[in-house]
A and B are shown apart, each in its own frame.
Chain A
Amino acid sequence: MESGDESAMEKQRVHVRPATLHDSSPATLHLLPCEVLANRFAPVGRFFTPAIRQGADGLHVSFRGRSLRGEEVSVPPGLTGYVMVTEKREGLIGKQDFRGSENNGEEAQEPLERGFDQFIGATGSFSCFTVWGLETVPGPEAKVWGALTWPTLAAAVCGPPAVHSRGDSCCRFTHRCPRTENQRASS
């Protein structure tokens, strides 16, 4: 992209636009069990969403002639989901902090934002998303469930000492939605 060399990347900071974290509008996310090698507009609301059916055994949809089965997944408690997009360089003009131009490693005076830094902002937020499996519900064995237990474990493995930890993001383990718990119990 814009900054050509590797070393710039190691130095770079990607600043999160704080306002976007509470201003972002709700986003609807579906995790599909297939590769789509494109990052672009897709008429999801026209073709995909209207085809979703709520059956007794979960969600059904047809996508490109294949039958998908889905379930709702809640973001673990204490966490919020965000869709984030890095800003284009052009977007920075006027926001550049020119004090940063003499960046010679003097950390005491060095501003947090330097001219060569990038910015990222949340474009959407979510508290749940739909996980889809090909022909079968992803179910409790789905890898994504395991990944969602990571925040709980991370607190113990590599988290900061308990007295210093803020919030309660990592102390609970109850984020599985009821449906999945039932499936687990019956299996």
Chain B
Amino acid sequence: MNPLTPDEWQALALSLRVAGLSVLASLPFALGLAWLLSRVRFPGRLLVEAVLFLPLTLPPVVTGYALLVLFGRHGALGEWLAGLGIVFAFRWTGAVLAAAVMGFPLLVLSIRVAFDGVDRRLERAAETLGAGAWRRFATIVVPLSVRGIVAGCVLAFARAFGEFGATISFVSNIPGETRTLPIAIYELMNVPGGLPGVQRLTVVALVVAFVATLAAAVLGGTAWGRRRDD
């Protein structure tokens, strides 16, 4: 017996793809920004932090609207990007962008805390051994922050997987294209006889969230254990 209908499978697969790609795409930027915030004192740092955390504090619908204004077909950036063949509005790529924006603060915050925890004296030692900034980052800072980076990725993934408000505002509800699992649940709640589907997808959401959190604990724990005992 198939536990989900084809439409429900489609929503689940889309959600996994959107959440996974959103984390992958935003990770390099998050690593760079976390390093800047952790290691460099620059003017306007507080302003950058305030902007970074906006998606956490703004109503998601507002974030979605802002994305539409910026990246819509006639938006400030959207029109220019469309010229390069890159379109976000009402496409699954837009769902990835919305999920990335919503998960980004959690990703940066986790990684930054991990970077803050790296003993600066080790970086200084690496520097005296001839390692430039990039090598120190790649060989000392990142490996010693693996646990925080993994935790950040999982948090951002979970946030992206559950993303609803910004996504529906920015890319709407198009089956197979932008109807992610939360949007599918919302739609099923509003159609007669949709309750069994709501229940099935709710269980799926619970399982995915639980597995993701467990994976973070296992992966983070393994990386930590290797560092300490290897």
* A and B co-occur in one complex: no
Chain A interface (Cβ within 8 Å of chain B)? none
